[in-house]
Amino acid sequence: MSSIWNRTIKLSIFGESHGVGIGAVLDNLPPGEPIDMNHVLQFMARRAPNSKKSGSTPRTEADQPEILSGMLDGHTTGVPLCAVIRNTNTRSVDYGNITTLARPGHADFTGDIRYQGANDIRGGGHFSGRLTAPLVFAGAICQQILERRGIYCAAHILSIHGVKDQAFDTVSPDLEQMLTIRTKDFPVIDEKAGNSMRVEIEKARLNLDSVGGIIECMVTGVPAGIGSPMFDGMENDIASMIFGIPAVRGIEFGTGFGAAELLGSQHNDPFYMDGDTVKTKTNHHGGILGGITSGMPIHFKVAIKPTASISQEQDTVDYKQHKDEKLVIHGRHDSCIVVRAVPVVEAAANIAVLSQLMQHNALEPLEK
Contact in structure between 270 and 169 (CB atoms under 8 Å) = no
Q: Which range in 23-31, 41-49, 136-144, 165-173 contacts a copy of itself by CB under 8 A?
A: 23-31
Contact in structure between 190 and 166 (CB atoms under 8 Å) = yes
Considering the complex, state which of residue 41 and residue 67 has its C-beta at the smaller distance from a copy of itself: 67
Taking CB under 8 A as the criterion, the residue among 126, 182, 198, 299 binding a copy of itself is: 126
- Tell me the closest approach of the beta carbon of residue 52 to a copy of itself, in angstroms: 22
Considering the complex, state which of residue 154 and residue 310 has its C-beta at the smaller distance from a copy of itself: 310
User: Using the rule CB under 8 A, is 159 a contact of a copy of itself?
Assistant: yes
Contact in structure between 161 and 355 (CB atoms under 8 Å) = no
User: Using the rule CB under 8 A, is 341 a contact of a copy of itself?
Assistant: no
Give the whole-angstrom CA distance, residue 111 versus residue 113. 5
User: Using the rule CB under 8 A, is 175 a contact of a copy of itself?
Assistant: no
Taking CB under 8 A as the criterion, which residues in 78-107 touch a copy of itself?
A: 78-82, 84, 102, 104-107
Give the chain's length: 368
Count the Cβ atoms, other than its own, within 10 Å of residue 27: 18
Considering the complex, state which of residue 173 and residue 212 has its C-beta at the smaller distance from a copy of itself: 212
- Tell me the closest approach of the beta carbon of residue 154 to a copy of itself, in angstroms: 19
Taking CB under 8 A as the criterion, which residues in 223-252 touch a copy of itself?
A: 224-233, 235-236, 239-241, 243-244, 246, 248-252
- Tell me the closest approach of the beta carbon of residue 75 to a copy of itself, in angstroms: 6
- Tell me the closest approach of the beta carbon of residue 47 to a copy of itself, in angstroms: 16
User: Using the rule CB under 8 A, is 352 a contact of a copy of itself?
Assistant: no
User: Using the rule CB under 8 A, is 344 a contact of a copy of itself?
Assistant: no
357, 361, 362, 365: CA torsion to nearest 10:
110
Considering the complex, state which of residue 105 and residue 174 has its C-beta at the smaller distance from a copy of itself: 105
- For the window 249-268, what string marks contact with a copy of itself as x by the rule CB under 8 A? xxxxxxxxxxxxxxxxxxxx
User: Using the rule CB under 8 A, is 331 a contact of a copy of itself?
Assistant: no
Strands 21-27 and 10-15: antiparallel
Taking CB under 8 A as the criterion, which residues in 275-294 touch a copy of itself?
A: 276, 278, 280-281, 284-286, 288-294
Strands 213-220 and 163-164: unpaired
User: Using the rule CB under 8 A, is 206 a contact of a copy of itself?
Assistant: no
Give Cα 311 distance to the centre of its chain: 25
User: Using the rule CB under 8 A, is 314 a contact of a copy of itself?
Assistant: yes
Give the whole-angstrom CA distance, residue 357 versus residue 348. 14
Known binding residues: 47, 126-128, 290, 305-309, 332
User: Using the rule CB under 8 A, is 129 a contact of a copy of itself?
Assistant: no
Find the angle CA(76)-CA(82)-CA(88) to the nearest 5 degrees: 130
User: Using the rule CB under 8 A, is 15 a contact of a copy of itself?
Assistant: yes
Give the whole-angstrom CA distance, residue 152 versus residue 31. 20
Known binding residues for FMN: 126-128, 290, 305-309, 332
Instruction: List all residues 6 or more positions away from 298 whose beta carbon is below 8 Å from its beta carbon.
Output: 218, 219, 220, 222, 234, 238, 253, 286, 287, 288, 349, 353
CA torsion sign for 108, 109, 112, 114 is: negative
